[in-house]
């Protein structure tokens, strides 16, 4: 007992310290998400380590398996392991399975966060997004130069693919806190200014998927605001969305160029599919042939590239093959068939159901997260992309955590 007592006391202090530090590390991860993938990776690994050190596994796993959204994500991830049984490219399958680690952090986040830390996570995320937004404004004003960033391309190469979806969510979050937040009048006024700055930034940056998500979340916000008068919501959305689109098209050369390019690329698809949107349409077209041949369980985890290469040689031999159809629904259908699609959609069904059943002031945000991902997954495999996969796992934990769990006695 004499030798065990001090060691047990030290272990207990380590567990308590880990439990107190980890929520702050999660907030720092939210801050880093728009800024640095290296920082996010390091923080995620440290959070996982402290999660292990902090103990209380019984209550942690109890909370994890009582949370229906978390269980649905775990079932979806388990399907990737099951899909190795019928894949023909085991190495690619294992690599695809390893890429899901960002989603596997959801149970860790869920059983680490405390309910009172929710808004702290929101504001840290908004702070990181604001810092990144400031750099895009400086580049747009030709005051900041790095890595190919120019006034015409104010984000670094291809970063708009993840920046604009995060910006769309951040804009909704800021508007939500202005309309329904519990902060002071000064804080809520700051949230309004931030939402307006993010809205303008949306049209001077290049991410068309994020811009689509922006409009989807704007419509959601309008209907949530006029939830007691759906007709008024329809009227406001019907007027405001075309005005926003027309204003962005008229005032922003970048937005105008991206809209015109999308229209032209769709128009010439039959004669020239070798464009940004044309290639996506071709990927979807050829992927449908894979789905048609393997409708129930797909070709297996990681076997998409092999199957697509074969279809590409058959239907479009002069075009480049791909390992990503740039549509998460199609990727899941190709790998796991209808079984996989049902598993994926079950996650968002449970999120929507949980949002509508909840009675607190965050129910609107709980609806916004699935609307965001159901929209952006139409044009990219966003649950595999580093930043957006972490965005999903982090905010699923923040928004769909209940009052049960180890945090109740550790605050």
| Strands in 292-360 per DSSP E | none
Give residues with Cβ within 8 angstroms of 69, minimum separation 6: 347, 350, 351, 354, 396, 400
Q: Which residues contact 2 (CB under 8 A, 6 or more apart)?
A: none
Distance CA 69, CA 329 (A): 19
Residue 54 pLDDT class (50, 70, 90 cuts): confident
User: Out of 146-150, 165-169, 209-213, 381-385, which region has the weakest mean confidence (pLDDT)?
Assistant: 146-150
Residue 408: which pLDDT band, with cuts at 50, 70 and 90?
very low
Q: What is the pLDDT of residue 205?
A: 94
Identify the pLDDT of residue 182: 81
Collapsing DSSP states into helix, strand and coil, what is residue 227?
A: coil
Integer-rounded Cα Rg, in Å, for the chain is 23
Kindly report the average pLDDT of the chain as a whole number.
92
Convert the pLDDT of each residue in 294-352 to its tens digit: 999 999 998 999 999 999 999 999 999 999 999 999 999 999 999 999 999 999 999 99
Residue 4 is predicted with a pLDDT of 56
* Closest CA relative to residue 11, chosen from 47, 62, 56: 56
DSSP-derived letter for residue 378 is T
pLDDT of 236 > 50? The answer is yes
Q: How confident is the model at residue 390 (pLDDT cuts 50, 70, 90)?
A: very high
In the structure, what pLDDT confidence band is assigned to residue 33 with cuts at 50, 70 and 90?
very high
How many other C-beta atoms can be found within 10 angstroms of the C-beta atom of residue 278? 20
pLDDT in tens, 110-119: 999 988 889 9
Q: Residue 45 has which token pair?
A: 């690994």
pLDDT value of residue 368: 97
- Calculate what percentage of the chain has a pLDDT beyond 90: 80
State the pLDDT at residue 21.
Answer: 86
Q: Cβ-count burial of 261 within 10 angstroms (0-12 exposed, 13-18 middle, 19+ buried)? A: middle
* Higher pLDDT, residue 182 or 320: 320
């Amino acid at each position: 007992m004499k030798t065990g007592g001090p060691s047990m006391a030290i272990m207990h202090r380590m567990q308590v310290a880990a439990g107190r530090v980890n929520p702050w590390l999660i907030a720092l991860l939210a801050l880093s998400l728009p800024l640095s993938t290296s920082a996010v990776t390091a923080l995620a690994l440290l959070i996982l380590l402290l999660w292990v050190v902090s103990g209380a596994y019984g209550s942690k796993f109890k909370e994890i398996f009582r949370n229906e959204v978390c269980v649905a994500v775990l079932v979806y991830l388990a399907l990737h392991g099951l899909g190795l049984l019928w894949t023909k490219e085991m190495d690619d399958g294992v690599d695809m399975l390893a890429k899901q680690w960002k989603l596997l952090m959801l149970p860790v986040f869920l059983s680490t966060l405390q309910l009172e830390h929710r808004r702290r996570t929101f504001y840290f995320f908004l702070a990181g997004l604001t810092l990144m937004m400031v750099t895009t404004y400086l580049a747009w004003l030709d005051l900041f130069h790095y890595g190919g960033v120019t006034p015409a391309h104010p984000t670094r190469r291809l970063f708009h693919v993840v920046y604009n979806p995060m910006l769309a969510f951040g804009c909704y979050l800021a508007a939500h806190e202005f309309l329904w937040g519990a902060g002071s009048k000064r804080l809520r006024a700051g949230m309004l200014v931030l939402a307006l700055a993010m809205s303008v930034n949306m049209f001077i940056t290049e991410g068309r998927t994020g811009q689509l998500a922006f409009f989807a979340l704007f419509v959601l916000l309008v209907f949530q605001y006029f939830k007691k008068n759906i007709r008024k919501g329809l009227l406001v959305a019907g007027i405001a969305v075309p005005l926003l689109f027309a204003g962005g098209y008229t005032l922003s050369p970048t937005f105008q160029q991206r809209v015109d390019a999308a229209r032209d690329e769709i128009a010439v698809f039959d004669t020239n599919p070798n464009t940004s949107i044309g290639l996506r349409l071709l990927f979807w077209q050829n992927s449908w042939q894979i789905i048609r041949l393997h409708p129930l369980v797909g070709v297996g985890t990681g076997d998409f590239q092999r199957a697509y290469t074969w279809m590409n040689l058959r239907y479009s031999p002069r075009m480049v093959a791909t390992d990503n159809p740039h549509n998460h629904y199609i990727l899941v259908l190709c790998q796991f068939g209808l079984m996989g699609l049902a598993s994926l959609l079950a996650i968002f069904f449970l999120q929507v159901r949980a949002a509508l059943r909840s009675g607190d002031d965050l129910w609107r945000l709980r609806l916004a997260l699935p609307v965001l991902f159901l929209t952006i997954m139409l044009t990219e495999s966003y649950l595999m992309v580093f930043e957006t996969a972490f965005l999903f796992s982090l905010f699923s934990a923040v928004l769909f955590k209940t009052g049960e769990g180890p945090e109740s006695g550790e605050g």
